[in-house]
Structure 1
Amino acid sequence: MTDSARAYLDHAATTPMVPEAIEAMVEQMGRTGNPSSLHGSGRAARRVVEESRELIAERIGARPSEVVFTSGGTEANNLAIKGLFWSRHGQDPARRRLVFSAIEHHALLDPVVWLGKQQDAEVVTTAVDRHGVIRLDDLRASVEADPLSIAAITTMWANNEMGSVQPIDEVVALARPHGIPVHSDAVQAAGHVPIDFGASGLDAMTITAHKLGGPVGVGALVAVRELELMPLLHGGGQERDVRSGTLGAPLIAAFAAAVDVAVRRRETEAARLETLRARLIDGVKALVPDAVVNGPSDLAARLPHIAHLTFPGCDGDAMLMLFDAHGVEVSTGSACTAGVPQPSHVLLAMGYDEESAGSSLRFSLGHTTTEAEIDRALAVLPEVHERARAARRVRSS
């Protein structure tokens, strides 16, 4: 089956590059120059990097000096949480608590768990409600119990599976009186909801290119200049001496182009995706009345491009493979854990039992999504649903 015959509804995992990003990347790939070199080619590459840095900063409400380029969201999250913990705990051994939400992506969850197991961190988890939004009272209790012992707080801007947008302003307001740094993984939110790093009051924020229409392999940790981070990598001292490594001008130029396009088109694209999302959900409910739409119902409380549904009596993995056989690509959750036979930790944290969690699918839309792709998914849904239910009945008998 050709790509044109397939319906790609997994944009939250990665989205196709926009033409502007491809053009910027190809143009720079034809040039030579290490941005750290002092000769003409090096200076030209450095100019590309710095102009890209300025454009990204402008589009997300940050200062250029606050944008630290990384290889992507995972590295940025690791640099944020490990760098903060090591720095703050090194200054004061009493600061050993890390407070994070129960629905973080594995790119943040796993480094936090590692710090707990290997670096004597005390991991404190903030609970979430049925819609996947953190419980501020729970966070407040964690902070006020002993604020001086907290090394950092991290709460994602929007959840990658459910699409629920988090109350970042209120998280910052709880932390600020105690001088506790706050980081947010904004990988899924950037380009889909308004992002203003300076106005948010955050100390650090993660974004990545390939969720925005840029290439895989480049992202950024946006961090205020005053924030002390211990590096993960030591070498040439690039990027404020917190992220050594030769900068890839082609990747960075494409990243900037993608950010520019995503932010400039955000409002019109969000409205378009909401319309497509509604078409999908209405169609699913008409065909499978017992399907359950998960996450917040309020438009302002969710991302416009994610629809998360539970199909009672079905196996999510079976539905995924059946959809795929019909040329429709969806997800059972985070792509980083796809294929692992265990329910989503996000759904379990929201109060779903293992059976419901294992019966759920995520449909995520993007800049290439069309009505025809939505209709293709709906056209094959009855057969996919019936075969998945039959397979569950056979296994249960």
Structure 2
Amino acid sequence: MIYLDYASTTPLCPIAREAISEAFEVWGNPSSLHTVGRKAKAFLELSRRKLSEALGVLPAELYFTSGATEATNWALWIAARSGIKRIITSPIEHKATLEPLNQLVEVFNISISWLNVLADGQYDLEHLDKLLSDSKDPTMVSSIWVHNELGNIQPIKEISTLCRRYKALLHVDAVQAIAKIPVDLHLADLASVSAHKFYGPKGVGSLFIHKNISHKWPLIAGGSQERSIRGGTEPTLLIPGMSAALHHTLARREDHYKQLINLKRLLFERLSDIKVEFNGAASSDENHFPGIVNISLPDEDDTGRLLFELDLAGIAVSAGSACNSGSLKPSHVISYLYPQRVKYANLRISMGSETTSNEIIEFCQILKKCLPKSSLTSSHQHG
């Protein structure tokens, strides 16, 4: 099996597995006051401290969740309950941002302002400046950092500067950025994190809430856990695995990034003899994370068939976000940016720490066999 779906999830790294195994011995409820509970509480807070150190934040700014979807929902809920009346975001955000926003419009009568997106998937900062300068209501900007489908790296530092200038809050979906590119969470007021995107366990994540946020409204009520603002017993098996995975991945980030650059260049080279459209900022080294490459194939119109044939050939790859893959509807991202490409087959090729050059070469060979002969360029057909 050649696995090229690292943006969907990553395999659990051995160090995280070891940390989870050790946590089996600390099985008490961290909310209990007896010795067994206090031991679990100490173990939990040690993991929080290690995780916060790795993220460069204070332990008191980190709140554990079931994952990034909950964290993003919570961040938006905090904004609404805090009196935010306007949220600026883009039409190509993750559905974990877009769908909760629809609910906030209904429940809190919040207005949504859509940020323009340039042809290469980058956010239009001039438009953001105008939206913020024109705003008369308390406002929050919600932006993805590394795009989960395109791999675009959005200019969070510049976005943060604009938000500070106009006294707007900033929520960042940092899911695909953590341990992959340099990240400073203090550029944001709120940030969503998910463990299984950096070789940690599924089912655990965190919400970063800046120390300056005074009102931290709970999304899930019903307990005193997480300083009384996130009810529910903490997953004491998973949190140590999350912490261990982050430290492990961060220590290898720079080498891993260089490896991904080489793999991306090889992928481009091996796809040069077929008809292919690269979506987003894939051709850029500065504004693009090399581990995610999104392509459209003009001479193939059946994404489902293509995915099925690739799967039978031992290739694990997706079409857009894994959160939408069950329906195989056209990606809302591709539909917005490139409506003319919606009729084309679409693949998101995402690479990770275990991806090799030989796997990229073999994937490209298999892909070409699955495509119509018309997909081959003339030079290849006659070569």
TM-score by length of 1: 0.90
Cα displacement (A) at 1:160: 0.4
Cα displacement (A) at 1:313: 2.2
Which letter does structure 2 place at the counterpart of 1:51? L
Q: Equivalent residue of 1:319, what SS? A: helix
Alignment of 1:1-397 (within 5 A): 6-88=1-83, 95-146=84-135, 148-198=136-186, 200=187, 202-227=188-213, 228-286=215-273, 288=274, 290-296=275-281, 297-315=283-301, 316-350=303-337, 352-356=338-342, 358-386=344-372
Is residue 317–residue 349 contact of structure 2 (8 Å, CA) maintained in 1? yes
Q: Equivalent residue of 1:210, what SS? A: helix
Cα displacement (A) at 1:12: 0.1
Which letter does structure 1 place at the counterpart of 2:356? T
Residues 309-341 of structure 1: per-residue CA shift (max 9 Å, x gap): 111121233222221111101111000111324
Is residue 299–residue 372 contact of structure 2 (8 Å, CA) maintained in 1? no
Residues 114-143 of structure 1: per-residue CA shift (max 9 Å, x gap): 212343111111121112111111211211
Which letter does structure 2 place at the counterpart of 1:330? V
- Residues 312 and 44 from structure 1, CA distance in 2 versus in 1: closer, same or farther, beyond 3 angstroms? same
- Residues 354 and 49 from structure 1, CA distance in 2 versus in 1: closer, same or farther, beyond 3 angstroms? farther
Which letter does structure 1 place at the counterpart of 2:246? V
Distance in 1 (CA, whole Å) between partners of 2:124 and 2:292 is 22
Is residue 295–residue 308 contact of structure 1 (8 Å, CA) maintained in 2? yes
Cα displacement (A) at 1:28: 0.7
Is residue 348–residue 357 contact of structure 1 (8 Å, CA) maintained in 2? no
Residues 178-226 of structure 1: per-residue CA shift (max 9 Å, x gap): 321101000011111011223x2x1111111000000110000011123
Q: Where has structure 1 moved over 6 Å in runs of 4 or more?
A: none
Structure 1 unmatched runs, 5+: 1-5, 89-94, 390-397
Structure 2 unmatched runs, 5+: 376-383
RMSD after superposition: 1.8
Is residue 314–residue 388 contact of structure 1 (8 Å, CA) maintained in 2? no
Q: Equivalent residue of 2:286, what SS? A: helix
Tell me the number of residue pairs that the alignment of Structure 1 and Structure 2 aligns: 373
Q: Equivalent residue of 1:225, what SS? A: coil
Distance in 2 (CA, whole Å) between partners of 1:226 and 1:312 is 49
Distance in 2 (CA, whole Å) between partners of 1:365 and 1:54 is 30
Distance in 1 (CA, whole Å) between partners of 2:229 and 2:373 is 52
Is residue 10–residue 329 contact of structure 1 (8 Å, CA) maintained in 2? yes
TM-score by length of 2: 0.93
- Residues 51 and 388 from structure 1, CA distance in 2 versus in 1: closer, same or farther, beyond 3 angstroms? farther
Distance in 2 (CA, whole Å) between partners of 1:357 and 1:167 is 30
Q: Using the TM superposition, name which of 6-15 and 28-37 deviates more.
A: 28-37
Q: Equivalent residue of 1:300, what SS? A: coil
Distance in 1 (CA, whole Å) between partners of 2:73 and 2:99 is 9
Q: Using the TM superposition, name which of 256-265 and 363-372 deviates more.
A: 363-372
Distance in 1 (CA, whole Å) between partners of 2:51 and 2:272 is 40
Distance in 1 (CA, whole Å) between partners of 2:116 and 2:365 is 38
Cα displacement (A) at 1:357: 6.3
Distance in 1 (CA, whole Å) between partners of 2:93 and 2:223 is 32
Q: Equivalent residue of 2:271, what SS? A: helix
Cα displacement (A) at 1:387: 7.8
Is residue 332–residue 338 contact of structure 1 (8 Å, CA) maintained in 2? yes
Distance in 1 (CA, whole Å) between partners of 2:254 and 2:49 is 22
- Residues 357 and 71 from structure 1, CA distance in 2 versus in 1: closer, same or farther, beyond 3 angstroms? farther
